[in-house]
Structure 1
Amino acid sequence: MGAGYAGLTTARRLADAGIDVVVLEAADRVGGRVFSQVRASGVRLDHGGQWIGPTQRRFQALAAEFDCPTFPTWETGRHVEIRADGTRADYTGGAPESGPGIAEYERITALLDTLARTVDLERPWETPRFAEFDALSAEEFLRTETDDKDALQRLALAVQGVWCAEPREISFFHVLFYLASGGGYEQLMETSGCAQDSRLGDGADAVARALARSLGARIRLGEPVLSIRQTQTEVHVHTGGGTVVHAARAVVTVPPAAVERIAFDPPLPPARLGWVRHAPMGRVAKVHAVYEEPFWRDAGRSGIATLYGERPVGVVFDNSPQDASRGVLVAFVYGDRVDRWAAAPDAERRRAVLTCLSEVVGERAGEPIDYVEQIWPRTGWTIGGYECFLTPGGWTSHGRDGWRSPSGRVHWAGTETASVWNGYIDGAISSGERAAREVAAALGPVVRQPG
C-alpha cells in the first residue's frame, strides 16, 4: 500500500518476477513524500524530497534507466551565515573557516563520525553501547561534550535540518545510525559529491511517474487503505474507495505515523506498534519564492544560507531551474520554529519568510512573482516530513522485532526501514527491493503461464 518510491519499487520487482500486484494509493498522485508541481510561473517546484547524490546508487540507476536527467545543485558564489545577534559571515565551501563555536562544532562532528562507524546497519541492536546511546537524546549527549552555546546552536541546526526535529526529541543512537546509513556527517550536510549534489530536471518524482507508467493499471489512486484483515491463507484489504483486495501477502509502505490510521485484524504485534509510537514524523515546511531571474547570482551570491536565532527560516538554497529562466529560493522552517510560524496568519507567515530571504540576498527578495508553502505536518497521510525519527528508547525497546520484521502476512517497506540511505529516496527504493524479496521468498517459485 502506497505509491511512493518504496511501494512502486516493490510492485515493479514483484511484477517483473511474474507475481500479480495491486498498488493502493490514498492520494491522487504517485510519489508520496516526493512531490513536484508546475506553477503558473512555468517553474517546476519540488515540495518534498528533491536531491540525488552520487552514492545513492539505486536512485541513480533508476534515473538513468528512465532517462530522467539530473543537474548540479547551484552553489557558485558566496554563501552567508546570519547569526542570532544579526552579524553576517560570507564564506565558500561547507562552513565558515572561523567563527563562534566552529572549533567545538568540528571536534564534536568528528566524534559523531567516529561513533557512527561502530554502528551495525543490518542488526543495529548489536552495536557497541547501543542501549546506552539509545537512552540518551541527542541534546543530552551533546551537552555532556560541550557547554559552548555557539557550538550547540550549530549542532542544533544540523539536527533540525536533517531530521526536522529538535535535539531533545531524537534518540542519540538514531543520530549515529542515520549518519552511518548515509556515509557520515559530511555526506548528509554538504552539496557537491554529497546528499545535496544534484537535482532532477523534470522533478524529483519524475522517476516515480515513470515507474507508475510501467505498472499501468496495477496502480489505483484515491484508494486509502482503511483496514487489513489476515486469515491463515489470505490478506483482505479494504479501502475508502470501497475496494476490497484479496491477496496472499501485503506490503505496507506508508510512513510510520500513518500506520495507526489502518485497522488491523488481528492487531499488530506489540513490538511493531511500539516502534510506530516511538517514530514520529519530522516537522518541516518547505517554502519557495520565485523571481523573474536569479538576481543574487549577479551579485556573486550563491543563495545558500544558514540562519540562527528567532528567525523562522533555518536554511536557504538556490532552487532555480537549470536554465536559470527563473530565480527560485527555497527556505526550510524546522522543528519548534515551524510550530510557531505555521500558527500565524497567512500574510504574517509570508512576510516573515520574505524578510529572511531579504536578509540573505537583498531587498529584491521581498517581491517574488510566486510564493508557495508546503507545510508537511498538515499534509494528508504523510503527517510530517520528510522522514520519521526515533525517540529515546525506541530502538532498544522495539527495534529488534518492530523495525521491519513481517507481521504475519504483512510486510513493511518505506525509507525508515532501510539500512543504507535511511530517510532518503534511495533508502525507499532499497526498502522496496528488500520487501519484494521477502514476499517472493514467502510465495515460492512462480510458474509463468504461456502466451
Structure 2
Amino acid sequence: MTPLETSAIDTEVVVVGAGYAGLTTAWRLADAGVDVVVLEAADRVGGRVFSQVTPSGVRVDHGGQWIGPSQRRFHALAARFGCRTFPTWETGRHAEIRADGTRVDYAGGAPDTGPGIEEYERVTALLDDLARTVDLEQPWSTPQFTEFDSLSAEDFFRAQTDDEDALARLALAIQGVWCAEPREISFFHVLFYLASGGGYEQLMETRGCAQDARFTDGADAVAHALAKSLGGRVRLGEPVLSLRQTAHGVEAHTGRTVVRARRAVVAVPPAVIERIAFAPALPVARRGWVRHSPMGRVAKVHAVYEEPFWRTAGRSGIATLYGDSPVGVVFDNSPEDASRGVLVAFVYGDRLDRWSAGTDTERRQGVLAALSAVAGPGAGRPIDYVEKIWPRTGWTVGGYECFLTPGGWTRHGRDGWREPAGLVHWAGTETASVWNGYIDGAISSGERAAAEVISALAAVGHLG
C-alpha cells in the first residue's frame, strides 16, 4: 500500500464507478454469488444522472432524465424497484425562435414550413436510410465504414446541401444529442448512434420516443435503489488512482484503500479513464479509443416559478432557439403535480464555451432572456435559478456522453471499443450496442460486463 492507504480489501471483482453501468455490473455479479466491491470517486451514486432539490422544494434532474418506451432494461429496473414515471409535458403550442428573432408557434414535431425545413427533412431521411446499414455488434463490418468514419458530420451535411438554414437545423440536432458541434463528431458515429437508438425520430421526439417520460423522484432514483440493494459493497469518496494487474489478479488503489480482486470492471466515461494510472499500460487500441472520445459540452439550467403559467396560455414550454441565444432547447420540467413551474434550458457546444465564460449575472441574464422569448415576460422572474455546468463537474468533466471524433472507429474500434485488457473489463454507456449514450445503454453495458466476468471466472474454476 502507499503511505496514505489505511485499509486493504480482498474480493473477487472490483468495479470502478457507481453510475448506472457500474451499479448494474455489481448488482448482476452479486446476484450470481460473486463477491464485489464498487469504488466511486464522488460522494454520491448515479454518475451522469443526478437530481437535487432546489431551495423552493422542487426536485430537478441535472443530468440524464428521460426514459422512452423502447428502453426496456431501464423500464425493467424501474419496475423492479418501484420507481414511478410520468409523461413529459408536451401539451400546447411549441415554439421556434429563429435567428432573426422571429417566433413561430406550432404543434407536432416541427413547423410544417419554414427556412431550411424541406432540405433538413431530406437529409435526415437519408441519415435514417444509412443508419439502417450499420452493424451494431461489429460496427467495422458496416458498408462504407471507413469512408463514413473519415468524415465529420459537417463534412457530410455540406456535401448534401448548401442551404444554411437546413445546416443550422442539423447543427442544433447534433448539439442537442451529442453536446458537440458537427465539425467535431465522426459521421459514422452519428449513424451508429441513430441505429443504436432506433432512428432519428426516436432520438429527437417526445411522446413514444426517447423523451417520453420522467421519474417522479428523479432519474437517479433507480441508481439509489441499486446502491441500497448492494449495501456496504459500494464505497463513496474513493477515486481509483491506479489499477495494477499482478500475477494474482488486480489491485485498485484509491489513496486510502487498496482493493485486491481477481478481475476489474471499469465503468467510467472514456474521457475519465486517463485519470487512472494503469500497470501495465493499456493496449494501444484502447488508449487510442479513449483519446478519440472527448466528452460533450453541456449545461442544464433550471428556472423555477410559482406555477407553470405558460400552460394556461396554451404553450407547452418546449422550444428550439437559433441565432445568438446561448440556449438551444427548452423543455417544461415541472413536477408531476404541477405544484411549481419549471423550465429547463440546455446550453450546448460552442454556445456553452461562450456562455460559461460570462459572469454569474451575464449567464443568468442570457438564459432568462431566452426563456422569456419562449414563455413570456414572467419567465424572467424565477423563484429559483440553478445551473449545472457539466464540464466544470469534478469527476465527470462533461456530458452527457463521449462521442467519437473522425477516424476513431476506424483506427481503434475493433480492439479498443470494449475488448477486455487482460483482467480489466469495460462497461459504460459508450460501450453499448443498443441505446448507446443513454441510461438504458449504461444498464445493458453493465449486464454485458458482468456476463464477461462470470464467464471468465467460471473458465478458471473461480465460480460456483
Q: Which residue of 2 aligns with 1:216?
A: 231
Note the C-alpha offset of 1:439. 0.3
Q: Alpha-carbon deviation of 1:447? A: 5.5
Which residue number in structure 1 is paired with residue 45 of structure 2?
30
| Corresponding residue of 1:348 | 362
Q: Out of 172, 186, 190, which is 1:157 matched to?
A: 172
- Output the CA distance in 2 between the equivalents of 1:40 and 1:305: 26
Aligned-pair identity in percent equals 80
For 1:245 and 1:213, the matched residues in 2 are separated by 21
Which of residues 119, 135, 141 in structure 1 aligns to 2:156? 141
Contact 2:181/2:349 (<8 A) preserved:
yes
CA distance in 1 between partners of 2:203 and 2:239 (Å): 33
- Does the CA contact (< 8 Å) of 2:454 and 2:463 recur in 1? no
Q: 1:258 — aligned with what?
A: 272
Contact 2:335–2:341 (CA<8 Å) still a contact in 1? yes
* Counterpart mapping for 1:74-113 below 5 A: 74-113=89-128
Aligned position for 1:177 = 192
> How far apart are the structure 2 equivalents of 1:84 and 1:53?
31
C-alpha distance in structure 1 between counterparts of 2:132 and 2:247, whole Å? 42
Whole-Å separation in 1 of the counterparts to 2:308 and 2:269: 35
> Quick check: 2:372–2:380 contact (8 Å CA) kept in 1?
yes
- Residue correspondences, number: 447
Which residues of 2 match residues 30-429 of structure 1 at below 5 A?
A: 30-240=45-255, 242-429=256-443
Give the Cα separation in 1 of the matches to 2:408 and 2:100.
37
* Contact 2:34–2:463 (CA under 8 A) maintained in structure 1: no
TM-score in terms of structure 1 length: 0.98
Distance 1:11 1:380 in 2: 23
Between the aligned partners of 2:109 and 2:82, the Cα distance in structure 1 is 31
In structure 1, runs of 5+ residues without a counterpart are none
User: Structure 1 counterpart of 2:368, which letter?
Assistant: L
- Structure 1: which 4+ aligned runs deviate by more than 3 Å? 445-448
Q: How far did 1:232 drift?
A: 2.8
Q: Secondary structure of 2:43's match?
A: coil
Give the conservation status (yes or no) of the 8 Å contact 1:19–1:446: no
Amino acid corresponding to residue 383 of structure 2 in structure 1:
I
Q: What's the CA shift for 1:381?
A: 1.2
Query: What whole-Å deviation, never above 9, does each CA across 1:167-197 have from its counterpart, x for those lacking one?
Result: 0000000000000000000000000000000
Instruction: Mark the runs of 5 or more structure 2 residues left unpaired by the alignment.
Output: 1-15
Match of 2:8 in 1: none
Deviations 1:322-381 (A, max 9, x none): 000000000000000000000100011001000000000111000100000000001111
- Counterparts of 2:102 and 2:32, CA distance in 1: 59
Other structure's SS at 2:174 match: helix
Cα distance change of structure 1 residues 447 and 106 upon mapping to structure 2, 3 Å threshold: closer
Tell me if structure 1 keeps the 8 A contact 2:457–2:463. Answer: no
- The answer to whether the 8 Å contact 2:432/2:442 transfers is yes
Alpha-carbon distance in 1 for matches of 2:394, 2:286: 22
Given residue 328 of structure 1, which amino acid in structure 2 is its aligned partner?
V
User: In 1, are the aligned partners of 2:97 and 2:322 still within 8 Å (CA)?
Assistant: yes
Q: CA RMSD in A?
A: 0.7
- Equivalent position amino acid for 2:374 in 1: V
After TM superposition, give the deviation of residue 233 of structure 1 in Å.
2.5
User: Could you state the TM-score of these two structures normalised by the residue count of structure 2?
Assistant: 0.96
Contact 1:250/1:409 (<8 A) preserved: yes
Judge conservation of contact 1:18–1:446 (CA < 8 Å) in 2: no
